[in-house]
Chain A
Amino acid sequence: MKQLLTFIILFALHTTVGAQDVTALINKVKAKLDAVNDYEADGKMKTDVAFIKAPLGRVKVYFKKPNKFRLKKEGGISLLPKGGVSVNMNSLISTKDFVAIAAGESVVNDTKVKIIKLLPGGDNSDIVLTTLYIDEANLLIRKAVTTTKENGTYDIEMTYGKFANYSLPDKVVFSFNTKDYKLPKGITLEFDDNKKPETEAEKLRNKKGRVEITYTNYSINKGIDDSVFKM
């Protein structure tokens, strides 16, 4: 009985200490992110969704604290997955009301990371669960998997370079699930039926979409007008 009680007390202590550790780590990551009040970045966006044929597009990304974010294509029409791309690191951990749970360690792109699961405290948040893969040595989020109420689950993978000191990635890859797209041939007036039926492997591949943004330049803490974020 005594042994069981000791085990329960030790386990409870370990869990509490672990939770405090990961919360402290998140706060450190957040403090590093907080050094950036606003930024404007140029980038190239590549959309890889099975039912979208689109060329590479030049984009401009704007961010302003606390979590204003806008991605604009320079001229032309932009196609973006709903919800996912507008999520940035600040929006993922900007809220103070969350429960952090340590979920072990892993490796992302040859970098050792800590896995932390974030559960939002309130019921109103669109995010249901976020899993962060944090590079503890550099205080950088290398990967995040976010499940939302409205827009499903998406992965965000980041590669850092010369702006790592500001926690700003050189490349961001969003992966998300896509829905089937079909339009009646009567509307498109296409009656050609030469298309081969898809194989099961193709169907599976087609369910995943990717948007890749490679940033070429950042302009940090130079001030951005709020009108930029108005749609």
Chain B
Amino acid sequence: MYKLIQIELYKIFRRPRTYIAFAAITALITIIQFGLKLDGNTYAEFMMRDLSSSITIDGNILNGYLVCYIMLQLLLVHVPLLIALIAADMISGEANMGTLRIMLTKPISRTQFMLAKFAAAAVYTMMLLVWLAILALFGSMLIFGTDDLFLMKSSYVVLLKNGDIFWRYVGAFGFAAVAMLTVAALGFLLSVFAENSIGPIVATMSVIIFFTILSTLNIPIFNAIKPFLFTTHMNDWKEFFDMKVTDTNESIIGSVLRPEKIINSILVLLIHIVGFVTAAILIFKKKDILS
């Protein structure tokens, strides 16, 4: 099994397409960091224009932690596309090149073959997230320094102490890993149905866009199905950046406002991953391989 995963990883990293995602993330993060370094204070002033009429805010607002948060907000919506580029190509790519039949002549079960393929896609997804973390978090910490994290929510603001932030990012990236694995699993499932890569990649993105719109629309008729859509839960990494308060409105350092929401979202996403991968294996096992 380990050997199979190694082979699959070798194939992934031999393709130039794999590096598009890493290059895209590098370019996007560098541009955002460059822009914020040059004119970040104007951006911060714009964000705080309502608040600054009644509150004086003193300190290094635009520090590495805030820059990373801004980037995660923007990028974690688009990273699924980059993951779909590889995950949705795992089976359909082989079918397209006509290598699927040859591979299945080897003495391995189809389940093993599929699990190795998914494991390789998962490793790629993790590597992409680690790269994102290195550039967005550590890069920003290096360029902008660290300080307290001042976050503006839609109806309140949160001030997190410098020493109470890093573990939250570890949690948020861990959560994002599960969310992105769900996307990989969906792409992987859809790749079983096609014999070229474009179809599953576009289909994966279409499903994500469609579900995201349903998740964000505030129409009562859709509220009943929202908890079952994985896109509803994918953004819950932000829950790590909210704190509980005491009766006198004093924030409790080290607390998370709704830990049960995070656990629930992780469970929903894990169920989706297991469901998508199981479905992909079952369908593939019964599939007549003609290419």
Listed in ascending order, the chain A residues whose CB lies under 8 Å from chain B are 46-56, 72-73, 75-82, 178-179, 181-185, 187-193, 195
Contact = CB atoms under 8 A, between A and B. Distances in A.
Interface string B140-177: 00000001101011111111011010000000000000
B107 interface: no
Interface size band for B? 35 or more
A181 B51 contact: yes
B105 interface: no
Contacts of B155: 51, 181-183, 195
B248 interface: yes
Given A53-B243, A181-B51, A191-B216, A78 B58 contact: yes
15 contacts: A52-B55, A52-B249, A53-B249, A53-B251, A54-B159, A55-B164, A56-B250, A73-B59, A76-B147, A79-B55, A183-B154, A184-B154, A189-B73, A191-B215, A191-B216
Given A77-B60, A79-B150, 5 more contacts: A55-B243, A77-B147, A77-B159, A182-B154, A189-B77
A79 B56 CA distance: 6
B53 A77 contact: no
Contacts, number: 115
A79 B249 CA distance: 14
B60 A46 contact: no
A23 to B, nearest CB: 34
7 closest A-B pairs by CB: A77-B59, A76-B148, A191-B216, A54-B159, A51-B156, A77-B148, A55-B251
A55 B58 contact: no
B61 A55 contact: no
Interface in B27-55: 47, 50-51, 53-55
